Structure 1
């Protein structure tokens, strides 16, 4: 659960930063990157719950990159005034993946990825 809380803050901030530094990622309204970031945070958390554990670090990281690229590109299409190219979505996903690597390491090392028997 702590991973989701961290992602709720990190993902929107990362998408907002990417819209400021990459010329091919444009969100004219501040709520647009926040909405994209929250959608990313929820989907990334769900993928972590299903995939992430000891031994699946790289699988989870690559899956996050691919999913983030697709989500950033297609969710941005729903905003009439936003403009995100495929290259911009890939750059944003790369930035998000960098934050995910840090979070995945923290989650694995702290033992928060251990699944309890149901």
Structure 2
């Protein structure tokens, strides 16, 4: 059974890590300096259509990874992403590679600077989401 978990406002900044669907939430998590595993369940037929009819060959699907042009957030995309592999990734990565200080140096500052040039960060800051 699935239980919804809602985190609002400042609680997001206290999070050690998050599990997010591929979408704009990853954008917000990166701006807050939070490690995340990106999950997105793709139906078999949709995956086949994207791959063989539309010839869609993206290296990544997460907007943060696309903007940074590298894998910042590991993407678990497919028919049934394994909850065990997501768990192991988050636990191991949060212990080793992603203390918040390292994340902010590697991702937050350049990500912020990229967005700041276009004024996007200021708009998001002035109009926070719940």
TM-score above 0.5, yes or no: no
Bigger radius of gyration: 2
Identify, as 1 or 2, the structure richer in strand: 2
Task: Please give the TM-score of this superposition, normalised by the length of structure 2.
Answer: 0.29
Task: Please give the TM-score of this superposition, normalised by the length of structure 1.
Answer: 0.31
Identify, as 1 or 2, the structure richer in helix: 1
Point out which structure has higher relative CO (alpha carbons under 8 A, 6+ apart).
1
